[in-house]
């Protein structure tokens, strides 16, 4: 078995499954957000912040943000390992991606729980 | 090695099949969406921060051409990535995993996402 120390689950099969599960969660979240924006006519701050004040919406959003982190890492790991052959450039790019994912996740959590 | 074997190095005669193009586009839209998270999280953060912040985000999306273009571009990337992702899940379920099925699914992916991209443009403008 080929192992790679930079992939997410240390096995291709686990990455494969994680990418599918996170994709389904992100698809549902995207549909929900787009649907909410489309079908709430004359959306105002009260309705928008009211949605994100609900506990279920915060949990749904957190689930989506965690899925996003995993999904982005598996996807961008695949792309960077395919196209960036020099080890230094690849590892450097992957470190920047990990840092960006971390920033997005922390940003998302602070938005949800209003730091 | 047999030096008389046929070699085709005329790249202009070599074309990617449609499923290869949708696969590459799936990757490109994924990278675009990751970079676009900066705008998405910014909009979420500011719009939820205060009524004034909500008004600022609504205003920029209603009147600023560049903001509309970015919103449309990200919605388009999301639409394609979404449809191509469903194609992937169908392949995982062993649906249409033949040469003809692959081309057919790639064609459907292009048509459905093109419709969604046009609808996204109508929504933004």
**What pLDDT, in 10s, does the model give residues B10-38?**
778 788 899 999 999 999 999 999 999 99
Domain with B100, as residue range(s), is 17-124
Residue B12 falls within a domain, yes or no? Answer: no
Query: Do B89 and A75 count as a contact with CB atoms less than 8 A apart?
Result: no
Secondary structure of B12-66 as H, E, C letters: HHCCCCHHHHHHHHHHHHHHHHHHHHHHHHHHHHHHHHCHHHHHHHHHHHHHCHH
Does B6 reside within a domain? no
pTM above 0.80, yes or no: yes
**Binding residue per annotation — B81?**
yes
A→B interface, C-beta within 8 Å = 20, 23-24, 27, 30, 38, 44-45, 48-49, 52, 68, 72, 75-76, 78-79, 97, 100, 104, 107-108, 111, 114
The alpha carbon of residue B69 is apart from the nearest alpha carbon of chain A, in Å, by 17
Could you tell me the residue ranges of all domains in chain A? Answer: 12-112
Residue B106 domain-assigned (yes or no): yes
Residue A6: pLDDT band (50, 70, 90) is confident
pLDDT one-digit tens code per residue, A35-83: 999 998 889 999 999 999 999 999 999 999 999 999 999 999 999 999 9
In B, which residues are within 8 Å of A49 by CB distance? 48, 54
Q: Pick the closest to residue A19 from B27, B13, B2 (CA basis).
A: B27
Token pair of B114 as six digits = 């093109």
Count of other CB atoms within 10 angstroms of residue B98: 9
pLDDT tens track of chain B, all 125 residues? Answer: 567 787 777 778 788 899 999 999 999 999 999 999 999 999 999 999 999 999 999 999 999 999 999 999 999 999 999 999 999 999 999 998 999 999 999 999 999 999 999 999 999 99
pLDDT given at position B2: 64
Note whether residue B69 is domain-resident.
yes
Domain A12-112, CATH class in plain words: mainly alpha
Judge: B47–A100 Cβ closer than 8 Å, yes or no.
no
Residues 6+ apart with CB under 8 A from B67: B60, B61
State the pLDDT at residue B5: 81
Tally the domains of chain B: 1
CATH number at residue B42: 1.20.1300.10
């Amino acid at each position: 078995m080929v192992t790679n120390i930079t992939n997410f689950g240390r096995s291709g099969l686990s990455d494969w499954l994680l990418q599918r599960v996170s994709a389904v969660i992100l698809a549902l979240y995207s549909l929900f957000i787009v649907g909410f924006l489309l079908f709430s006519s004359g959306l105002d701050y009260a309705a928008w912040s009211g949605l994100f004040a609900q506990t279920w919406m915060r949990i749904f959003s957190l689930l989506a943000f965690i899925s996003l982190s995993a999904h982005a890492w598996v996807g961008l790991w695949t792309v960077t390992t395919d196209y960036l052959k020099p080890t230094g450039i690849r590892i450097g790019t992957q470190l920047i991606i990990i840092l960006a994912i971390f920033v997005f996740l922390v940003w998302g959590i602070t938005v949800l729980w209003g730091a | 090695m047999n030096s008389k074997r046929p070699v085709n190095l005329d790249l202009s005669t070599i074309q990617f099949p449609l499923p290869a193009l949708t696969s590459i586009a799936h990757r490109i839209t994924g990278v675009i969406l990751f970079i676009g998270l900066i705008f998405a999280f910014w909009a979420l953060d500011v719009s939820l921060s205060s009524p004034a912040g909500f008004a600022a985000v609504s205003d920029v999306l209603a009147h600023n051409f560049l903001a509309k273009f970015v919103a449309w571009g990200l919605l388009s990337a999301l639409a394609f990535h979404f449809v191509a992702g469903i194609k992937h899940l169908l392949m995982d379920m062993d649906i249409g995993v033949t040469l003809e099925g692959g081309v057919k699914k790639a064609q459907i992916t292009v048509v459905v996402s093109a419709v969604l991209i046009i609808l996204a443009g109508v929504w933004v403008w």
